[in-house]
Amino acid sequence: MQVASTASGASWIDTHCHLDEFVAHGGQDYADRMRAASRSAGVGHCVIPAVERGNWAACREMAHRWGDSYGLGIHPLYTPRVQEGDLAALSAALEQAASERDERLVAIGEIGLDYFVKGLDPARQEQIYRDQLQLARRFDLPVILHVRRSADRLLKHLHEVPVQGGIAHAFNGSLQQARAFIDMGFKLGFGGALTFERALQLRRLAEELPLEALVVETDSPDIPPHWLYVTAEQREAGVPQARNTPAELPRIGAELARLRGMAADDLARASSANAARALPRLAALLEGEGAAHG
32 assigned binding-site residue: no
CA 259 to chain centre: 21
C-alpha 279/C-alpha 87 separation (Å) is: 22
C-alpha 292/C-alpha 294 separation (Å) is: 6
Largest CA distance in the chain: 53
146 assigned binding-site residue: yes
287 assigned binding-site residue: no
Phi, psi (deg, nearest 5) at residue 169: -70, 140
How far from 108 is each of 3, 19, 90, CA to CA, in Å? 23, 17, 10
121 assigned binding-site residue: no
C-alpha 151/C-alpha 193 separation (Å) is: 18
- Count how many residues are written for the chain: 294
User: CA geometry: angle at 76 spanning 73 and 79, to 5°?
Assistant: 90
C-alpha 220/C-alpha 170 separation (Å) is: 12
Helical packing angle, 151-160 and 122-139, nearest 10°: 40
User: CA geometry: angle at 198 spanning 195 and 202, to 5°?
Assistant: 65
16 assigned binding-site residue: yes
Q: Which candidate, 14, 88, 6, places its Cα nearest to that of 40?
A: 6
- Which residue numbers belong to the known binding site for a divalent metal cation? 16, 18, 110, 146, 169, 219
Binding residues: 16, 18, 110, 146, 169, 219
